[in-house]
Amino acid sequence: MHTDAYAHLPDLRDRLTPADQSAVRATPETLALWDQRAREQGLTDDWRLSDQRLEDTRRALLGDFNPPRDLWVFGYGSLMWDPGIHFAEVRRADLPGHGRRFSYRTIMGRGTPDCPALTLSLEPAAACCSGLAFRIAADQADAESALLWRREMLRDGYRPALLPVATPQGEVTALVFASNHAHPDYVGAMSLVDEARIIASACGVIGSNRDYLVQVAAQLDRLGIADAYIRELQALVDTITDA
């Protein structure tokens, strides 16, 4: 095992938010802040899954980590620059049969109930989705996956699965958060123009929807990943905001 987490991707060393500086590391304190913000927006206590439900769903997929074992996590959106977890290794990774799409509405973070934002999810696709794979070391996998699960599964917006992903150093099985098509906040296929209009205008307590898109595009460029969908969408958003 590599002692340097960035051995395969040294250029990312200063391009990922450290876990202890992440605003989306879902500690109890962060979760309490999110609950407070939800109440201020007029949301009821069931705006998210209960702590027990979150833990039950995590255990159902990942088990109890006894004996301890490494866990790989696939990142394709904000995880690519702000994973919010302590990891022992990061690699380039390709997930076959999927593509990133702005197909999920969010009223938290970069949106509000009056002006929801769009966030990325994974949709079935003929090609593959290129991103990053993070390895959480065995002695941290249980605790770190619990924090990650709170972040990603808070509103049950994804369907998590353990899927094979290809990396230059070999195939690994990774935790993947793909679209939950049954969720009420799932918006499905929209035109690029409609997506661009939403992304150009939405903004929330942690920043604008446009900035989210810009950060995704910048990290893909840094990794040498060509994503025609993201490139075209960013061009449309730039046209709208610069008009």
For 151-177, the pLDDT digits (tens) are 999 999 999 999 999 999 999 999 999
Give the CATH number, domain containing residue 198. Answer: 3.10.490.10
Q: Looking at residue 137, what DSSP letter applies?
A: P
Q: By residue range, what is the domain housing residue 194?
A: 10-242
Is 17 within the bounds of a domain?
A: yes
Whether residue 131 contacts residue 73, with contact meaning beta carbons closer than 8 Å, is answered with no
Would you please indicate which residues are annotated as catalytic (active-site) residues? 152
User: What is the total count of domains within the chain?
Assistant: 1
- Nearest by Cα to 225 from 85, 102, 152, 127: 127
- 60-92 pLDDT, tens digit each: 999 999 999 999 999 999 999 999 999 999 999
CA distances from 6 to 64, 81, 87, 89, 90 (A): 28, 13, 10, 6, 6
In a domain, 214, yes or no: yes
Q: Is residue 121 part of a domain?
A: yes
Task: Say whether pLDDT at 2 is over 70.
Answer: no
